[in-house]
Amino acid sequence: MKRNKPDLSAYTAILFDFDNTLTDFHASSVASFADLLLSHGITQTAEHYPAYEKINSALWRKFENKQATADDIRALRFKEFYDQQGWPLDDPLQANDDYLEGILRHTAPIEGVENLLRRLHTTHYLAIVTNGLREIQRRRIDHLGWTQYFDDITVSDEIGYAKPSSEFYDVAFAKIPTGTPRSSVLIVGDSLTSDIKGGKAYGLDTCWIHPQRYPDSAAADYVVRGVRELG
């Protein structure tokens, strides 16, 4: 049985994933997707977003596995979705840009997260480690007013490596104060692959954000229902 939650006093550095860990990315994406279809004069049905999400998730998995680039995600996710639906789309890159701007507008924190960050940043080295696109990810963090709470932010598209690769973790770990042992670094995230398996492979303790506290498949050191439980 996994331990409920970590004793944060045992760690000097905490690496947080961003989407669906500190913010409800799913809700932001659903809202932005609806805005995009509305701007194109399309009446959305219940089947549309799940179809898009399947395409988008597959592209991000390829990105994590070094089988696709961030530019592939930009160019293909809406092209493939619109092609699947039989709709014309003159400019897939513009559709992607519009969707990202909607994500920025709809980005909102998970309740209680800011209070947690406000407390932890006075006692710990805090960083965001995120697989995201360079044109939007830092803007979203700044939009929330959270940049002040983090000692560093590592964005996959800025450095050319994605979680769960060791190269990504090399970059993030190199920014932690010299002499910090891996045993005193905790990574917190919702992805069993990029955050948990990637962190474990790098020798870090891991805390999985998952609505079921003790899922059998969890390889994490800790499992919590939401990041607020850390406080």
Q: In what order do the strands lie in the sheet with 185-189?
A: 152-155, 125-130, 13-16, 185-189, 205-209, 222-224
d(CA 41, CA 152): 41
Q: Which residue has tokens 């395409």?
A: 55
Domains and CATH numbers, the chain: 8-24+109-230 (3.40.50.1000), 26-106 (1.10.150.240)
* pLDDT tens digits, one per residue of 89-117: 999 999 999 999 999 999 999 999 999 99
d(CA 29, CA 102): 8
* pLDDT tens digits, one per residue of 61-95: 999 999 999 999 999 999 999 999 999 999 999 99
Q: Which of 174, 149, 186, 129 minimizes the C-alpha distance to 10?
A: 186
d(CA 212, CA 193): 17
